Structure formats: C-alpha cells, structure tokens
C-alpha cells in the first residue's frame, strides 16, 4: 500500500495544498522536500512508500532525483507531478522508472483516483499520456529494429545494396566492385535473407525506409 508519502516541490504553497489533500484522503505525509537533492536524502532516511516529485526544481531536478532513487531504493514508487506536458519529459520519466506522470492541473478527484490505481499496481497516468507513451515506445522499438537490421549487413553488402538501389544489374555491380558475378549473387542472397526480403525491390524498399542506405 502506498500510504506513506514524501511530497517534493519547490513551491511551498503547492506542497501545502497537496499535503492537505493527501491527509484528507487517508495518506500519511512523512515529509516534504523543496529540491531533488533533499528528496533523495529524505527518501533514504524516511523510507516512504511513495514519492510525489516535481520535475523542474533547483539544485537537482526531479528526473535526476528519480534516477538516484531508482538506483538506491527501487522498491519505492515515484510519481512525477508537474506542470510540464512535454512529451519528451513524459517518456524520459517513464523510461527512468517513474510509476506515474500526472499534471498539476488535474482535479482532486482524478488525482486521488490515479493514486488509488497505483496501490492496485497500475501506472498513475492519464489515458492521453498512456497513448503518447505507447506510440513513443513503439517508435523506439522500430528504431532499434532498424539499427539491428543495419548492423547485420556488412560494409560490402551495404555497398552492393546501394548499387542495386541505383538500378545496376548483377553484371554491372560486379564490374563496379571488382567481384565475379557469382560472388555478387552470393552477397545478394545473403542480403535478402538478412532483411527477410523476397526480392531486390523489397530489399531496397526496406533499406530506404529504415535508413540502411544512409551509410556511405
């Protein structure tokens, strides 16, 4: 149960409002911090079950504090509570290990509902933010696949694929790279297998879409 809470924000008036809301809902606020460094120190000493953390703070920002807390006390849940709806901040926070990312303009009912879900093992995040995270993680996965696909092609295979993309025949490629035509065919067979392509056109299309021909 995430009932012991540390509230971290550099605006004391906002902290006071959050503390009052949490205590009225049955949470125990074990401490408050005004910057990331203090948050890390209090997390070590107070061992809260939940840290509500602002993103932009002096001395140490919330993201850096989150990373340190994850390293030193991974069992403690951290939810970013911020005014920033910047997608990069959202994604970076989730990747760094935050169990939630809530905007400060949420009404009190939605805020408490998100924390209730956190106690059930859910991520404290709005539906719109969850959609952004899903899309961004899918893109990260796609980029990783691109890198892995490109990594399996040798420099020679990339060079040959460039020439295929230029419309050269096997014979013309063999003359350009000083290899026998049979050797060129062998390389092309390997390229098709590595890229899971059925023909030259499919291989070139895949390579162009995924940046494999960006290599010189």
Domain ranges in the chain are 4-135, 153-214
Cα-Cα-Cα-Cα dihedral sign, residues 106, 92, 5, 128: positive
Report d(CA 136, CA 199) in Å as an integer.
31
SS3 78: strand
When computed from its CA atoms, the radius of gyration of the chain, rounded to whole angstroms, is 26
Would you say the CATH fold of 153-214 matches that of 4-135?
Answer: no
What pLDDT, on a 0 to 100 scale, did the predictor assign at position 138? 61
What pLDDT, on a 0 to 100 scale, did the predictor assign at position 120? 81
CATH of domain 153-214: 1.10.10.10
Residues in CB range of 57: below 8 A, 6 or more apart: 8, 9, 10, 34, 35, 36, 65
Report d(CA 69, CA 193) in Å as an integer.
45
For tokens 């390229």, the residue is 191
In CATH terms, the fold of domain 4-135 is Rossmann fold (3.40.50)
Which stretches of the chain drop beneath a pLDDT of 70?
1-2, 127-128, 130-151, 215-216
Question: Each residue of 137-186: pLDDT tens digit?
Answer: 666 556 655 555 555 788 888 899 999 999 999 999 999 999 899 999 98
Q: What is the pTM of this model?
A: 0.63
What pLDDT, on a 0 to 100 scale, did the predictor assign at position 193? 83
**Residue 213 DSSP one-character state:** G
């Amino acid at each position: 149960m995430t009932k012991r809470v540390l509230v971290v924000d550099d605006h004391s008036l906002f902290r006071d409002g959050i503390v009052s809301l949490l205590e009225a809902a049955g949470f125990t606020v074990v401490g408050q911090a005004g910057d990331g460094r203090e948050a890390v120190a209090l997390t070590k000493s107070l061992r809260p079950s939940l840290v509500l953390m602002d993103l932009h703070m002096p001395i140490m920002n919330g993201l850096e504090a989150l990373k340190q807390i994850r390293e030193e006390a991974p069992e403690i849940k951290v939810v970013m509570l911020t005014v920033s709806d910047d997608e990069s901040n959202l994604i970076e926070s989730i990747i760094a290990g935050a169990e939630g990312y809530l905007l400060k303009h949420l009404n009190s009912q939605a805020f408490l509902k998100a924390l209730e879900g956190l106690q059930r093992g859910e991520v404290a995040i709005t539906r719109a933010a969850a959609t952004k995270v899903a899309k961004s993680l899918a893109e990260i996965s796609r980029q990783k696949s691109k890198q892995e696909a490109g990594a399996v092609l040798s420099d020679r295979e990339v060079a040959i694929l460039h020439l295929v993309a230029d419309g050269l025949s096997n014979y013309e490629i063999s003359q350009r790279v000083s290899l026998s035509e049979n050797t060129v065919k062998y390389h092309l067979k390997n390229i098709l297998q590595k890229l899971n392509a059925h023909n030259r056109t499919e291989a070139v299309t895949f390579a162009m879409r995924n940046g494999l021909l960006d290599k010189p």
